[in-house]
Each structure stands twice: as C-alpha cells, then as structure tokens.
Amino acid sequence: MSWSKHERGGAEGAGGPRGYHHGNLKEALLRAALELIAQKGPAGFTFAEAARWAGVSPAAPYRHFRDRDELLANVALRGFERFEVVLKRAWDDGRPDALAALDRLGKAYMEFARTEPAYYSAMFEAGIPLSTSAELREAGERAFAVLRGAAEKLCAQMPAAKRPPALMVALHIWSLSHGVASLFGRGDAARRTLPMSAEELLEAGVLVYLRGLGLSAAGDRPPG
Amino acid sequence: MSWSKHERGGAEGAGGPRGYHHGNLKEALLRAALELIAQKGPAGFTFAEAARWAGVSPAAPYRHFRDRDELLANVALRGFERFEVVLKRAWDDGRPDALAALDRLGKAYMEFARTEPAYYSAMFEAGIPLSTSAELREAGERAFAVLRGAAEKLCAQMPAAKRPPALMVALHIWSLSHGVASLFGRGDAARRTLPMSAEELLEAGVLVYLRGLGLSAAGDRPPG
DNA sequence: TGTACATCAGTGAACGCGCGTTCACTGATGTAC
DNA sequence: TGTACATCAGTGAACGCGCGTTCACTGATGTAC
C-alpha cells in the first residue's frame, strides 16, 4: 500500500496530471459510485461510468473489483460501517439517560438517511443480498446491534413482569425509522410531502410507542 | 375497443397463433412489466423485453406508451388502485370494531407487499415521481385515505382532551407497515431474517403504539 | 549507490450485445353508403 | 349484402449508443543484490 504517497481526491481535475498509476483507484471508484448513486439511484450506475468519473480507462476497475455488484457491495459495506459509527456516537451508551439517548439515536438515523442517501440506498434498497459476503452481513449486524443495545437498556428499566423482548423492540424502532426515512426522509422527486419534518414524525412515533411499552417518562400527554 | 373479441392471456403460447393485431397489447405489456419487475426488480426491466415477453415487435409498445417510464407509472397506478381495494376490503368501514378492523388492515398491507412485490416496488421503490401524473398522485392518495380513515375512527374513540391528530397516527402506522414490509416482508434474497413473521411483528408494533395513544383495549399486557 | 528484474496497476483497442427509437410499410378492422 | 375507404395497430429493418468484458501491452514501483 503506497496510498500515503499518492493520496488523491475524487476525479481527475484538482491536483494536476497524474502519472500512469492512479495511486488510489479503489478509493476513487468507491467515491465515484457514491456520487453516481446519489445522482441517479443504485440502478443508474454503471461500472464504465464510475471508471470515467475516476478518470481512468474502462478496464482499470477490474483490477480492484470483480464486477459491478462487488463494487456496489463494497459501497454498502462502507455505508454500514459509517452508519454504525454515527449511531454509536448518537447513542453514547445511553447517557445521560436512555430516553434522551434514544431520541438522539432517532435523529441520527434520519440525518444519515438524509445526508447520505447514496449509502442508505446501497445498504437497504439496492437489492444486494446480505449473503454476498460475511463481511457485509457482519457490518449490517454491527449497525443493528447499536439499536438492539438501546432497546435492551430501555427494557432493563422496566419491571421484569411487563418487560417486552428487547429484540422485538429494536425491530419495531428500526422498522419505524426505516419506514419514515424511505417514505419521507429523502430529497428525491419521489418523496412524499408531509405536514411536519420526518425527524419530528419519527420522534413522536417513538414516544407513543415507548409509552405503549409502559415507559412512563415517555411523555405523559399525547404528542401533536 | 374490441377487447371482448380478442381477449388474450399474457405472452404468446397458450391460445394458438394470433393475427396481425394483438388485440389487447396494452394489457399484455402491463402484465409483462409486472412479471419482469417481480423477477428482477424495477431496475432490471426494459421496454424491449416487455415487448418480447408479449410476443410483439420492439416497436409495438410505442403505440401504447410514450416510453419505459410511462409504462412503469401505469404499473404503479394500477398497483395503487388494487392496494386501495385490498385495504378497503380489509378495513370494512371499521366493523365490527376499529381495533379488529385495524388488525385486518395491517395483515392485508403485509399480504399485499408479500404477494404483489412487483406492484409494491413500482409503487414505493421504483423512484417514480408522484408528479408524473395527477392520476397517479390521486390514486396514491386514495390508497392512503383508507389508512387515514382508520386513524380517524380510532382517534374518535378517544376522549377529546387526549386525542392525537389522526393524520399523524395514519402516518405512523403507514411508516411502521412500510418499514416492516420493506425490511422483512418480501421473498427477495435481500430480505432480513426474523425470529417471527413480518405480520406478527407489525401487529405487535401497532398494538404497542395504540396502547401508547391511550387506547386501553389495545392489549393490557406487553406482547411477546 | 546503482543496476536488473519481478510485480503491479494502468492503457487502449476491440468485440458482441441489447437497448431505445425511428421509419416507411402493411395487414386487419370498422364504417359509410 | 357488398364494396370502398379511413383508421388503427401492428411489422421488421435499421441506426447509434453505451455497456461489460477481454486482451496483449506498457509504464511505474519496489526490491534483491
């Protein structure tokens, strides 16, 4: 790896002419894919165009990725890794208390979907089988594990007699977040309009849900 | 319209040779699109292949649809219409009571997503702007109106002082349903695995949510 | 420090393919009289 | 009932295009001595 010597930005342009070797083509291709997905969705992204965008011949990408799908899967993998980091930071081990931390977690979820639509769709909407690679599946599970950890902390606050399964709680919160994000959370033309922000909608939904679980601190009057 | 004379099935095959005129090509193309979307997703579906599948020359579809997108939008339109019918039947004006009817509604939602994945992805995941046509937007709104009507009936049962906005309730239920459906509800390779059925997950989630709204009949102990 | 060499990461030309789209056309259908 | 004609819904050949993929190749880099 000689990346440190040849660190380069995205496409050709800023940085003057490059030599015969790109130096960091794999990285540049990942960024190109991200850019193209953001522009036209995971469907409208081609291997050839990624190469062009990276300023390289159409044969070059084959040195780094078997095919288009492998590149896409790598984008999704990286997306899960970032997602995990973002969610973990927001959750912050449930400090100062689980409810406040969960609120941040929801906001972070929506912010990720909004500001990284390309990652988000590679991860959840590109139809990449999780079986593509063990690495991908594990990265996805680590991201989900943050939600699950949050659910466990919440459930631990409840009296054992009326404690729901933490896994189920995590799945509910994930589903609601994903539903809000994909229906209302993005800037596409395909977006549905809404009388409130997606963040607010999600926050209100989670509060109602938690109250339903019996978490008494979770808002004592109906939200609106 | 001479369809009654020439009523035909999907692709060429059963039914013997057809004449110069197909007789019901528009219909056949819609079915072909549906079939192809089901097989390879909304991305992997081409105008030319739909024509081939309908047993017709590649130029023929242009008599019925301006381009690929218009055909896709028609699939989505028809999907919303069917979705509305299915949801309405399940809701059945809230008989015998709103909670039982809402439970049926949730099951119907999931069943539609599961048995009609092609419609479902054309409607929600193909990235077709709702602004494509007024017809499409209105069909989408009519389908959502069923959920909204259900939310209104539920809210009406609550004391006015603690009554949440029905629109918000409808959006929460829709988001949760869509989230469960798209993460766990379909047969793709991209599906996530789950320790329970998607229907059960959704039902449990809705119950918790309703309890959070203060609907006391909505299950008095935590589900699991 | 210099030289020879292996390895790596690119090139660029070529290919076959399927798609979208157009065009003048033609067979079938429906209708006016 | 029959004939002439307008309209409609197809054909099929052709085109340009961009993609995916391969191939022998070559320039740059790193390393052994």
Q: Domain containing A40 — which CATH number? A: 1.10.10
> Do residues B58 and B103 share a domain?
no
Give per-residue pLDDT as tens, B198-220. Answer: 999 999 999 999 999 999 766 54
CB atoms within 10 A of CB B59: 9
The token duo for B188 is 């793709």
| Residue B68 in domain | no
Q: Do B106 and B176 have their domain in common?
A: yes
Both ends of chain A: CA-CA distance in Å? 55
Q: What is the mean pLDDT of residues B18-22?
A: 75
Residues B121 and B203 in one domain: yes
Which pLDDT does position A1 carry in this prediction?
34
Confidence (pLDDT) at B127: 87
Instruction: Decide: residue B109, CB within 10 A, 0-12 exposed, 13-18 middle, 19+ buried.
Output: buried
The answer on A194 and A90 residing in a single domain is: yes
Domain assignment of residue A34, yes or no? yes
**pLDDT tens for residues A81-123?**
999 999 999 999 999 999 999 999 999 999 999 999 999 999 9
Max Cα distance, chain A (Å): 68
More confident residue, B186 or B83: B83
Task: Give the mean model confidence (pLDDT) for residues B95-104.
Answer: 97
Q: Exposed e or buried b for every residue in A61-95, given b needs 16+ CB within 10 A?
A: beebbeeeeebbbbbbbbbbbbbbebbbebbeebe
Let me know whether B95 and B203 are in one domain: yes
Scanning B80-139 for CB atoms below 8 A from A yields 124-125, 127-131
Tell me, yes or no, whether A57 and A126 share the same domain. Answer: no
What is the rounded distance in angstroms from the CA atom of residue B97 to the CA atom of residue B99?
Answer: 6
Do A163 and A107 meet the contact criterion of CB atoms below 8 Å apart? no
Q: Is residue B29 part of a domain?
A: yes
Nearest to A29 by CA among A2, A6, A52: A52
The mean of the pLDDT values for chain B is: 88
Same-domain pairing of A40 and A146: no
Mind telling me how many Å the CA of B177 is from chain A's nearest CA? 7
B21 min Cα distance to partner chain A (Å): 34
Instruction: Count Cβ atoms within 10 A of the Cβ of residue B57 and give its class: 0-12 exposed, 13-18 middle, 19 or more buried.
Output: exposed
Interface with chain B: mutation pick from A123, A176, A184, A220, highest number of B CBs within 10 Å: A176
In whole angstroms, give the CA distance from residue B90 to residue B110: 12
Identify the pLDDT of residue B217.
Answer: 66
Say what the pLDDT of residue B189 is. 57
Nucleotide nearest to A50 (CA to C1'): D19
Same domain for B177 and B119: yes
Q: Which amino acid is at B21?
A: H
Pairwise CA distance, residues B156 & B150, whole Å: 10
| pLDDT at B4 > cutoff 80 | no
pLDDT score at A44:
87
Q: How far is CA B184 from the centre of its chain?
A: 16
Residue B17, preceding peptide bond in cis (omega within 30° of 0): no
pLDDT in tens, B34-61: 999 999 989 889 999 999 999 999 999 9
B213 inside 8 A of chain A by CB: yes
Residue B11: pLDDT band (50, 70, 90) is very low
pLDDT for the residue numbered A216? 72
What is the pLDDT averaged over residues B121-138? 92
Asked whether the predicted pLDDT for residue B222 surpasses 60, the reply is no
Does A32 reside within a domain? yes
User: What does the pLDDT look like over B142-178, one tens digit per residue?
Assistant: 999 999 999 999 999 999 999 999 999 999 999 999 9
- Here the tokens at position A69 are 């799908």
Q: Over its length of 224 residues, how does chain A's per-residue pLDDT go in tens digits?
A: 333 333 333 333 434 457 777 779 999 999 999 999 999 989 889 999 999 999 999 999 999 999 999 999 999 999 999 999 999 999 999 999 999 999 999 999 999 999 999 999 999 999 898 888 999 999 999 999 999 999 999 999 999 999 999 999 999 999 999 999 999 988 665 677 888 999 999 999 999 999 999 997 665 444 44
In a domain, A174, yes or no: yes
Angle between helix B166-184 and A166-184 (nearest 10): 110
Domain count along chain B: 2
Q: How far is the CA of A73 from the C1' of C9 (A)?
A: 22
- The mean pLDDT of B1-25, rounded to a whole number, is 51
Give the Cα separation of B80 and B97 in Å (integer). Answer: 26
Based on the domain organization, do B35 and B131 belong to the same domain?
Answer: no
The domain that holds B94 is classified in CATH as: 1.10.357.10
Q: Is residue A2 part of a domain?
A: no
Classify residue B146: in a domain, yes or no.
yes
Question: Residue ranges of the alpha helices (H) in chain A?
Answer: 3-6, 25-40, 47-53, 68-91, 98-115, 117-124, 134-156, 166-184, 198-213
Rounded percentage of chain B residues whose pLDDT exceeds 70? 86
Using a 10 angstrom Cβ sphere, with 0-12 exposed, 13-18 middle and 19 or more buried, the burial of residue A14 is exposed
Choose from A167, A168, A180 for mutation: most chain B CBs within 10 A.
A168
Q: CB closer than 7 A to strand C: which residues?
A: A 20-25, 56-60, 63-64; B 2, 5, 19-21, 46-49, 52, 58-59, 62, 67-68
Nearest alpha carbon to residue A174 among A59, A48, A87:
A87
Question: B29 with B46: CB under 8 angstroms?
Answer: no
pLDDT of residue A93: 98
Looking at the structure, tell me whether residues B58 and B161 fall in a common domain.
no
Domain span including residue A187 = 83-213
Residues A120 and A48 in one domain: no
Q: What are phi and psi of A143, to 5 degrees?
A: -65, -45
| Residue A105 and residue A190 share a domain | yes
